[in-house]
Structure 1
Amino acid sequence: MRAKQIIHAWDYHHGQATRVVVGGLPPLRGATMLEKQAYFAAHCDHVRSSLMQEPRGHRNMLGAVLTDPATPDGDIGMIFLHPRGFFEMCGDSTFSSVACLIDAGIISADDPDGELTLKVDTVAGRLDVHVQLAGGEPVGITFNNVPSYALGAQTLRVEGCGEVEALLGYGGLTYAYVEARQVGIPSLREVDPSRLLEVGGQVLHDARAQIHLPAYVGPDRLGEARPVDLITLWEPLHADDVKGTRVANFYAPQTCGRTPSGTGLAARTAIEVAAGRLKAGETFVHESPLGLRFLARPVVTGISRVGNGAPGIIPALTARSFLMGTAQWVLHPDDPFQAGFIF
C-alpha cells in the first residue's frame, strides 16, 4: 500500500460527530496554542480539510488535534477543527477529546470509579476539566469554560423577516441569539429541517454582515472586531425542573448543529446572569432540536475585563460523549481528493 500520510483518529459523538486526531502529525511548534494552531494551518491544513470535508467527513463534521500543552502545568493542548477552518474554542470537541484521552489510554486514572482532573490548553484559554469514571470509562465530563460575557443586544435586519432583536454573547466564540418566532419558526422541534436550514442560513448571512464583535482571544487579539462566529435560533424550554432554552446553532451555510453547543451555552448563561434571571450555582440548560441537553452552572460571577464593561462569568459545562470507532485514514498520493472538498 502506498500512502503519502496515515492519520490516526478516534471518532466520537454527542449527537454531532467529532474526529479526534491522536497520531500521524509532526510536532506542532509554538509557545502558545495560537502559535501551534498557526503552525498547523501553515504545514498541516490538508489534514484538517481531508478529515473534516467530504469524502472522509461531511459539512457538519467537527474535529480536534491533541498537542503538547502550551503552559508548564498543562496536561494537554487541543486545537479545534471544522470543514472551513478552526474554532478557537469548541465545547463539543472538548467533551469528545477528553473522553478520547481516557479511552485511548493517553491519560490514565488511579481509580477506575473515581474522578480525574485535567488542565487543558486551548487557543481561547485554560479549561479545568473534571471527569467522572465508572469502570474506567468517562461517564460524565464537566469543565470550567473560559471567561464568558454578555455583550448587549443589537437590532438585526433579516431579509424576509424585517428587524429582529439579537442578544449578543461570548463563550469562547461570539454568538447572536434570535428568538425563532421572530423569523417565522413557531417550533424548533416541529419545523421542517429544510426550512430551518434556509432560515438559519439567512440569519447567519445577515448577522455576519451587520454584527461585528471583538474576539476575546489572548492579549494579542483583544479588541479585534470580526463578524459574529455563530447565530442561534432559540425558543423557551418549557420544563418544570430546569431553566433553559431550546436552540439551533448555525456557523456555515447549510449547516445546523446537532448539539446544544458548549460555547453557545456558556455565552447564553452569561447573558442570563447579566439579566438577573440566573444566579451563581443554578443550572441552565440548552436543548438541541434532537432533544439532547448540555448543562451549565455559573461557578464564578462578576468578572470584568479591562476595556470592556460587559459582565463576565466562568460557567461549568457538563455533557457526555460516546465513542463510535477508531480509524487510520490514508492519504494516497494519487487520490485527487486527498485534501477533501466541499460540495
Structure 2
Amino acid sequence: MTADGNRRAESRDASGARASGGRPGPASVETIDWHTGGEPFRIVPAAPSALTRDGLSVAERRTVAVADAEAQWTRALLCREPRGHADMYGAFLVPPDDEAAHLGALFWHKDGFSTACGHGTMALGAWAVASGLVPASADGETDVVIDVPSGRVTASVRTVGGRIADVTFTGVPCHVHARDVEVATARGVVVDIAFGGAMYAVLPAARIGLRVRPADVTSLIAAGREIRDALNASRAAEHPADSRLSGVYGTVFTEEARPPERLPDGTRRLYHRNVTVFADGEVDRSPCGSGTAARVALLADAAELRLGDELLHESVVGSVFRARIARSATAHGLSAVVPAVTGTTYATATCRFTVDPDDALVPGFTLR
C-alpha cells in the first residue's frame, strides 16, 4: 500500500473511532525511546493483538495494521501531541517471518506505517543487545536480524568495553528506479528516484534555490510535499515486484559538504549533506538510513561510489552516517547494491503513557 493509501486508511479509521467512542486502544502503553542521529524512535514491545497472530509475514502484518482500529489508534496516541509530535517515529515489535530472525518490526509515523527505516533498525539492534534479548560479548560485533515490511535486514552492533560504540544497518538490495524524472510542480524540477527499502525522490537542494540547513527547513518541507504528491499522482514510482512498496515515501534534498577525498589506499571518501522530508511533511533529523541507502544506489549507478569507497552523509542537525556498498546484487532483474550504513544510537527514556477516560483530546492532535 502506498503512503497515500495509509492516509486514506487513517481517515477511515478516525471516523470509525469517533463513532465508537474514539477509544479502541489500551488504557496505557509502555515504550522504550531511543534516538539515532537525533531522530526519535519509540519502541513498543507489546503490539496490538491483531498484529501478532500466527501465520503472517511482517509485510502482511503491515497491511493488517493499516486496517486495524487499535493499531491506528495506538500509533496516533504515541505520535500526536501531547504524547508525541508531528515528527515522531517508532515501531511495534511483532513476530519475525521465521526463526532465522530475532524479531519483526512495523514502523510507524504520524501519517501511517512505512516499509523501511534504517535509523529505527539501528536503534532496534542496539536495544536488543542492551536489553539482553540478543546476547553480545563485551568487545566485538553482534548481528541482530530483523524482518521488516520491505524484507530482512541486519543491525550489526559493535561493542567496546561493554558499551555500544555504533551500529551498522545492512538493508535489502537497493536500485535506481528512474533518472531525470520531470515533476509537474510550480517549480518544474527534475529528480531521480531510487529504492532504499522505500522509494525516494532525490535532487540537489540548489535546484530549487535552497540549502540543506535549519533556516531552509520550512521551505524544504513545502517543496518535499509538493514533489512527493506530484510524483505519486502520476504513479512515477511503481515497484517492479510488490505494489505494497510502490509510491514515493520521501524526498531527499542533497548538497556536497566538501569535495571528495582520495585516500592513501586509492579509495575515495565523499562528503554530502542531506535532509529527507518523508510521509506528509515530516523531517528526518538523522541522515535517514533508508534514504542514505537509496542515495548509495544512485551514487553506485553513476560510478561516483565504488566498492571500498565511503559516503559521509551529514544530516540537517549535523549528525553523520557512514555508508558504503556492502556488495553488488540484482533485484527483480535490475542491477542493485546492498548498502551498509553506520551510525550511533542512544536510549533516551522508558515511558508509560496513560489515557484518562475523561480526556477529550485522546488520541491527540497535530498542528502540522
Q: TM-score, normalised by structure 2?
A: 0.82
Cα 1:149–1:284 change in 2 (3 A) is same
Paired position in structure 1 for 2:288 = 261
Aligned residues: 331
Cα 1:24–1:5 change in 2 (3 A) is farther
User: Which one of the candidate residues 189, 195, 198 is aligned to 1:170?
Assistant: 195
Range with bigger deviation, 31-40 or 265-274: 31-40
Q: Does 1:243 align with 2:270?
A: yes
Paired position in structure 2 for 1:204 = 228
User: Which one of the candidate residues 46, 68, 92 is aligned to 1:23?
Assistant: 46
Cα 1:100–1:338 change in 2 (3 A) is farther
Contact map agreement 1:130 1:141 (CA 8 A) in 2:
yes
Contact map agreement 1:8 1:24 (CA 8 A) in 2:
no
Q: What amino acid sits opposite 1:296 in the alignment? A: A
User: Which one of the candidate residues 322, 326, 346 is aligned to 1:322?
Assistant: 346
Paired position in structure 2 for 1:274 = 301
User: Which one of the candidate residues 65, 74, 81 is aligned to 2:101?
Assistant: 74
Q: What amino acid sits opposite 1:320 in the alignment? A: T
* Alpha-carbon distance between aligned partners in 2 of 1:127 and 1:224, rounded to the nearest angstrom: 18
1:284 Cα shift? 1.7
For residues 1-343 of structure 1, what are the structure 2 equivalents within 5 Å? 4-13=26-35, 14-23=37-46, 25-26=48-49, 28-29=52-53, 30-41=55-66, 42=68, 43-109=70-136, 111-157=137-183, 159-162=185-188, 164-185=189-210, 187-189=211-213, 191-210=215-234, 212-215=236-239, 222=242, 226-241=246-261, 242-306=269-333, 310-343=334-367
Q: What amino acid sits opposite 1:203 in the alignment? A: I
Range with bigger deviation, 166-175 or 143-152: 143-152
Extract unaligned runs of 5+ from structure 2. 1-24, 262-268
* Alpha-carbon distance between aligned partners in 2 of 1:215 and 1:64, rounded to the nearest angstrom: 23
Cα 1:244–1:207 change in 2 (3 A) is farther
| CA shift digits 1:216-236 (9 cap, x unpaired) | 6xxxx6256843111111112
Contact map agreement 1:64 1:97 (CA 8 A) in 2:
no
Of Structure 1 and Structure 2, which has the larger fraction of its residues in helix?
A: 2
* Alpha-carbon distance between aligned partners in 2 of 1:84 and 1:147, rounded to the nearest angstrom: 26
Cα 1:294–1:25 change in 2 (3 A) is same
Q: Give the percent of matched residue pairs that are identical in Structure 1 and Structure 2.
A: 27
Q: What amino acid sits opposite 2:345 in the alignment? A: S
Q: What amino acid sits opposite 1:17 in the alignment? A: P
Cα 1:201–1:140 change in 2 (3 A) is same
* Alpha-carbon distance between aligned partners in 1 of 2:125 and 2:42, rounded to the nearest angstrom: 12
Contact map agreement 1:208 1:228 (CA 8 A) in 2:
yes
SS of equivalent residue, structure 1 residue 188: coil
Q: What amino acid sits opposite 2:209 in the alignment? A: G
1:90 Cα shift? 0.5
| CA shift digits 1:273-305 (9 cap, x unpaired) | 111111123212321121211121111114242
Range with bigger deviation, 52-61 or 243-252: 243-252
1:260 Cα shift? 1.1
* Alpha-carbon distance between aligned partners in 1 of 2:178 and 2:344, rounded to the nearest angstrom: 31
* Alpha-carbon distance between aligned partners in 2 of 1:206 and 1:180, rounded to the nearest angstrom: 18
* Alpha-carbon distance between aligned partners in 1 of 2:214 and 2:64, rounded to the nearest angstrom: 44
1:255 Cα shift? 2.5
| CA shift digits 1:90-113 (9 cap, x unpaired) | 01111112222223333332x222
Q: What amino acid sits opposite 2:40 in the alignment? A: A
Range with bigger deviation, 131-140 or 321-330: 131-140
| CA shift digits 1:247-287 (9 cap, x unpaired) | 11112444222111111111111111111111123212321
Alignment RMSD (CA, Å): 2.3
Q: What amino acid sits opposite 2:183 in the alignment? A: R
Range with bigger deviation, 224-233 or 282-291: 224-233
Cα 1:4–1:80 change in 2 (3 A) is closer
SS of equivalent residue, structure 2 residue 285: coil
Extract unaligned runs of 5+ from structure 1. none
